[in-house]
Amino acid sequence: METKEYFEKVMQDFNQNRRGRNLRKYCSDEGIDYKWLSEYKKQYSSSKGKVEKEEEPSLIPLQVIDERFSEQPVVQPEAKWCVKQLVIASPTGDELEIKCSNLAVVVELLRKMSM
């Protein structure tokens, strides 16, 4: 196993199985060289930062498609009954406003409220 992979695996195992232990205690319990691990952790984190700093920021090319001027015909949705606004007042004066395009859902809600 490569050193980097071993380090990442040990750190992953530590994070998953720490059970309240610190890294030093975890290493002594699992038989891992704490001194080597802590030194490698310092090197790994500092070298990781250098790689990120050396990379130049790049732009992601975007393609804009303006659908307003497309020649494809726009499909109109099928005309159906819908609830534009339904206001229900409770006996205590609370109001419930319902707006829904699915009439079956509104009917089911009203049925449950009437029980």
In a domain, 2, yes or no: yes
Residue-level pLDDT at 99:
83
pLDDT greater than 60 at residue 34:
yes
CB atoms within 10 A of CB 21: 14
Q: Output the pTM of the full model.
A: 0.38
Question: Range of 109's domain?
Answer: 82-114
**Domain count across the chain:** 2
Average pLDDT value for residue range 15-19: 85
Residue-level pLDDT at 38:
87
Residue-level pLDDT at 49:
56
In a domain, 5, yes or no: yes
Radius of gyration of the chain (CA): 31
Tokens 């998953």 appear where? 16
